[in-house]
Amino acid sequence: MYVKTFHDPDTATFTHIVVDESTAKCAVIDSVLDYDHFAGTVKTDSADQVIDYIRTNNLKNEWILESHIHADHITASSYLKTHIGGQTAMSKRIKEVLEIWVPMFDSSEDTPISGEQFDRLLDEGDEISIGSITLETWLTPGHTPACASYYCAEHNAIFVGDTIFAPHLGTARCDFPGGSAADLFKTVQRFYTLPDETIVYLCHDYPKDGDSPLESITIGEQKRTNKQIQPDTEFSEYVAKREARDATLSVPKLLYPSIQTNLRLGEFGVKSKNGLQFIKIPINAL
């Protein structure tokens, strides 16, 4: 297994391409569509890097995986599927997220609440084959109800989405609708049962100027140095500190654009009568 990682500095997001070198098959995890919130414009530079890498290396894409419905960037899933193929997939608990947000956006016209817009909805233990590589689905809620991680036992690696971050950042926030600090505590403690040498592929990093982003770290390093949660951290202590921290955080600037489009795999929905598409911003809804 080889992992090629791209970092989008605008949203601090990692996109991972998981490659089975023996069969030249691959999967893409957590892609990015470049969206300018102020200009209302979309570019595909980040996604095109992924496409170019896959084509240049003569890879066949099998999967386009989401770790969750992102609130800080728009996914390029639909765009990637058009250009490199592959099945789209994420946690089956996406239905809970759809039930929360579709009514808020009044978007039932173009956002099926059944989750049928995804090719596959994954349950705990479901396996994803990338050539000879097998990723096992772990349902890892906390940040959102529909967070999923992808574990490869054979190669001691796990792709964790927005659950645990680099040690100096701690863990993901849990204050979005459906989030739960209690659930995230259980999720991270489950990660800590993995062998210390297991490589944790992160979804975000926010490096200081001049520093390189940290795309991966071992379970052992997390257990020793994560500032918010370690193996002996008490449940009540973590929940209290996580909830107190979340109460101070601002709403992500791309929350509304991201969630409503990501529920459609990065599509902007049906066009209005004038041929344009629009982002909806509900007022005083959160």
Task: With beta carbons less than 8 A apart as the criterion, state whether 193 and 231 touch.
Answer: no
231: closest CA among 265, 191, 195?
A: 191
Contacts (Cβ under 8 Å, ≥6 apart) of 261:
74, 75, 267, 268, 269, 279
Task: With beta carbons less than 8 A apart as the criterion, state whether 3 and 18 touch.
Answer: yes
pLDDT value for 255: 96
DSSP annotation of 42: E
Query: What band does 208 get if pLDDT is binned at 50, 70 and 90?
Result: confident
Which phi and psi (to 5°) does residue 50 adopt?
Answer: -65, -45
Q: What average pLDDT does the chain have?
A: 97
pLDDT at residue 210 is higher than 90: no
Per-residue pLDDT reduced to its tens digit, 11-27: 999 999 999 999 999 99
pLDDT value for 66: 98
Domain ranges in the chain?
A: 2-262
Token pair in block for residue 194: 């993995």
Task: With beta carbons less than 8 A apart as the criterion, state whether 73 and 33 touch.
Answer: yes
Per-residue pLDDT reduced to its tens digit, 85-101: 999 999 999 999 999 99
Between CA 57 and CA 103 the distance in angstroms is: 43
Q: Does the pTM of the predicted model rise above 0.75?
A: yes
Task: With beta carbons less than 8 A apart as the criterion, state whether 136 and 127 touch.
Answer: yes
Each as own residue / partner, the long-range contacts of residues 33-38 (CB below 8 Å, 24 or more positions apart, any chain) are 33/73, 33/74, 33/75, 33/76, 33/79, 33/266, 34/8, 34/10, 35/73, 35/74, 35/254, 35/257, 37/253, 37/254, 37/257
Between CA 91 and CA 132 the distance in angstroms is: 22
Between CA 217 and CA 238 the distance in angstroms is: 21
Task: With beta carbons less than 8 A apart as the criterion, state whether 66 and 128 touch.
Answer: no
265: closest CA among 101, 129, 64, 38?
A: 64
Considering only CA atoms, give the Rg of the chain: 18
Between CA 150 and CA 68 the distance in angstroms is: 12
Between CA 258 and CA 278 the distance in angstroms is: 12
pLDDT at residue 209 is higher than 90: no
Query: Cα-Cα-Cα-Cα dihedral of 103, 107, 110, 114, to 10°?
Result: -10
- SS3 at position 213: coil
Q: Which CATH superfamily is domain 2-262 in?
A: Ribonuclease Z/Hydroxyacylglutathione hydrolase-like (3.60.15.10)
Gap between the terminal Cα atoms of the chain? 42
Per-residue pLDDT reduced to its tens digit, 113-137: 999 999 999 999 999 999 999 999 9
Question: Mutual orientation of helices 181-191 and 235-246 as an angle, nearest 10°?
Answer: 120
Contacts (Cβ under 8 Å, ≥6 apart) of 265:
75, 77, 78, 81, 88, 117, 118
Token pair in block for residue 162: 């927005």
